[in-house]
């Protein structure tokens, strides 16, 4: 979608300059027009169409595009102009603003025009111009904003939201992927599953797992964990270690500022667990303890008074610390690619009403692979990981699988309205799925190529200014175990030799008089 910006703006000076100083100021503005092009592709950015200085107000008419928006160009002039006229003429820059600001979009549907009109108070007027179908445009005029609002990104966020409304009917993955999401890229031979029922129910009866009070949480008992650890070691050896990834340990308590850089707060705010740190309020906590004894249940209303606002989330993706590791860093191209993996601790996602059984939980274990490099390096690594997945699923787990183009790259949702600013691969996500006994398929992992999404969000730079890409891949260990049990059953005698070698003998279940339920032979 083509977008044009037209700004009638101004820079207000602390006093009216003399005629000679006026000439110096106007000349300075003209000589530094590259400020309006910096960071934009060739022949892109903004340009000044008219310039005049009346009394103490410098009026500029600036037209531009999404690469350097005119208000951004206006902001870029503040410090250089202050440095130029302050020491020399003892005149300062008092403020910036605009009398009129229009944003023009093409290819707009009337239904979306009506919706935008009713949603945004910052919009003064919205109308269609050039009524001919091929030239149709939407012109959005903004209400005046103060300098703080301009500098804090109100216009940019408004622009993004308008684009979201215009593009909301089109799936993000469809817009990015060159191959239609859902297309099967490869698949295994047909295999028959040993179980004809949900493995979760069998695991519960046998005491391999037991439901925990928290939603979407389970306690995994020794037999399950012996198998889990075997599959974790095998997949670790065959995938990250064979592909020369180095192991790291990433934090699982992630500050909101990191999630903001990832665009998760804009894309999936309802899918995370938020955490609050306690305030230093001993009186509140003394009252809490007294009321707890009286009520015999936690007095949540009192507890809330002793908590700070949410400042963190429990890691929903596991790869977050990797990008933060390199934020504002300049990468050594000779040292690329950098490949790390983490298999420590849990990943947390709020599934809401969608949590069920062992296949859709709110707390689960994964091995996460993350890498950064030049675009070709990143794509090659992704392809190698996909091939390594296939080998483990065939040689060790003996399950029936297929790989398709993913339809929900987790990082894209927060990029609505900004797609043209980011480089993306032809296939942003490879989804690895196993056909389960109930006729449904289970996602057991994915391989994602992010293009420049996280590089831009975390301000990661290359020394040559050539693009850098990142990628990540998840091995869903809980689901790998579930898929294995569906196809190979719970009797170790029936398991593939390579799994038996690492699991037998299985440990006993720590039973009680009532649990697990006694089973008939």
| 181-197 pLDDT tens trace | 889 999 999 999 999 99
Does pLDDT of 171 surpass 60?
no
Q: What is the pLDDT of residue 172?
A: 54
- Within 10 angstroms of residue 257's Cβ, the number of other Cβ atoms is 11
Q: How far apart are CA 293 and CA 290, in angstroms?
A: 5
Q: Looking at 48-153, list the stretches that DSSP marks H as alpha helix, in order from N- to C-terminal side.
A: 70-89, 110-119, 147-151
Q: What is the pLDDT of residue 439?
A: 86
Give the residue with greater pLDDT, 463 vs 494: 494
DSSP of 183-249: -EEEE------S-SS-HHHHHHHHTSEEE-SSTT-EEEPHHHHHHHHHHHHHHHIIIIITTTPEE--
Residue percentage of the chain with pLDDT more than 70 = 89
Are 193 and 436 a contacting pair, CB within 8 Å? yes
Are 14 and 110 a contacting pair, CB within 8 Å? no
Token duo for residue 365:
């274990």
Does pLDDT of 68 surpass 80?
yes
For 201-250, the pLDDT digits (tens) are 999 999 999 999 988 999 999 999 999 999 999 999 999 999 999 999 99
For 420-445, the pLDDT digits (tens) are 567 888 899 999 999 998 888 999 99
Distance of CA 512 to the CA centre of its chain: 45
Confidence of residue 331 (pLDDT cuts 50, 70, 90): very high
For 140-157, the pLDDT digits (tens) are 888 888 888 888 888 887
Q: How far apart are CA 52 and CA 324, in angstroms?
A: 45
What is the value of pTM for the model shown? 0.72
Averaged pLDDT for residues 317-339: 96
Averaged pLDDT for residues 492-509: 95
Does pLDDT of 321 surpass 90?
yes
| Domain range annotation of the chain | 2-166, 178-269+316-503, 273-314
CATH of domain 2-166: 3.30.70.1920
CATH of domain 178-269+316-503: 3.30.930.10
Does pLDDT of 268 surpass 90?
no
Nearest by Cα to 319 from 166, 458, 511: 458
Burial per residue of 221-231, b for 16 or more beta-carbon CB atoms within 10 angstroms, e otherwise: bebbebbbebb
For 292-310, the pLDDT digits (tens) are 999 889 999 999 999 999 9
For 391-425, the pLDDT digits (tens) are 999 999 999 999 999 876 666 665 555 555 678 88
Confidence of residue 517 (pLDDT cuts 50, 70, 90): confident
- Within 10 angstroms of residue 298's Cβ, the number of other Cβ atoms is 11
Q: What is the pLDDT of residue 42?
A: 81
């Amino acid at each position: 979608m083509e977008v044009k910006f037209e700004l009638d703006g101004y820079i207000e000076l602390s006093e009216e300059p003399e005629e000679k100083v006026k000439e110096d100021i106007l000349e300075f503005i003209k000589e530094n027009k590259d400020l309006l092009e910096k960071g934009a592709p060739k022949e892109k950015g903004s340009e000044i169409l008219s310039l005049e200085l009346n009394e103490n107000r410098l009026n500029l008419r600036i037209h531009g595009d999404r690469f350097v928006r005119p208000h951004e160009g206006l902001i870029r002039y503040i410090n250089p102009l202050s440095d130029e006229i302050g020491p020399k003429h003892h005149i300062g820059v008092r403020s910036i603003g605009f009398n009129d600001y229009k944003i023009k979009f093409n290819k707009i549907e009337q239904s979306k025009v009506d919706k935008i009109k009713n949603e945004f108070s910052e919009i003064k007027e919205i109308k269609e111009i050039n009524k001919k179908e091929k030239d149709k445009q939407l012109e959005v005029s903004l209400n005046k904003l103060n300098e703080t609002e301009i500098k804090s990104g109100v216009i940019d966020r408004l622009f993004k939201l308008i684009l979201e409304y215009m593009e909301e009917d089109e799936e993000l993955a469809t817009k990015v992927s060159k191959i239609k999401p859902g297309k099967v890229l490869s698949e295994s031979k047909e295999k028959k599953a040993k179980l004809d029922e949900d493995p979760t129910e069998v695991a519960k009866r046998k005491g391999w797992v037991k439901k925990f009070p928290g939603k979407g949480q389970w306690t995994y008992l020794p037999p399950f964990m012996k198998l889990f650890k075997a599959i974790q070691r095998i997949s670790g050896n065959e995938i990250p270690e064979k592909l020369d990834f180095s192991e790291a340990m990433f934090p699982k308590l992630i500050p909101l500022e990191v999630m903001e850089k990832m665009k998760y707060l804009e894309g999936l705010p309802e899918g995370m667990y938020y955490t609050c740190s306690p305030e230093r309020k001993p009186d509140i906590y003394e009252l809490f303890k007294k009321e707890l004894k009286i009520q015999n249940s936690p007095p949540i209303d009192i507890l809330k008074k002793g908590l700070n606002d949410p400042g963190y989330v429990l890691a929903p993706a596991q790869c977050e610390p990797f990008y933060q590791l390199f934020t504002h860093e300049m990468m050594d191209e000779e040292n690329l690619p950098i490949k790390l993996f983490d298999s420590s601790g849990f990943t947390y996602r709020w599934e809401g009403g969608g949590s069920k059984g062992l296949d859709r939980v709110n707390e689960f274990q994964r091995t996460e692979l993350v890498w950064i490099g030049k675009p070709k390096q990143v794509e090659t690594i992704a392809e190698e990981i996909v091939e390594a997945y296939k080998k483990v699923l065939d040689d060790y787990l003996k399950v029936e699988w297929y790989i398709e183009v993913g339809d929900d790259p987790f990082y894209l949702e927060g990029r609505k309205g900004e797609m043209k600013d980011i480089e993306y691969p032809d296939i942003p996500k490879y989804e690895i799925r196993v056909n389960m006994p109930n006729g449904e398929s289970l996602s057991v992992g994915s391989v994602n190529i992010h293009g420049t999404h996280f590089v831009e969000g975390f301000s990661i730079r290359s020394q040559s200014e050539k693009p850098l890409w990142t990628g990540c891949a998840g091995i869903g260990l809980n689901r790998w175990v579930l898929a294995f049990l569906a196809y190979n059953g719970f009797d170790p005698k029936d398991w593939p030799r390579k799994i038996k070698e690492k699991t037998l003998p299985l440990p006993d279940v720590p039973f009680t008089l009532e649990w697990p339920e006694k089973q008939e032979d």
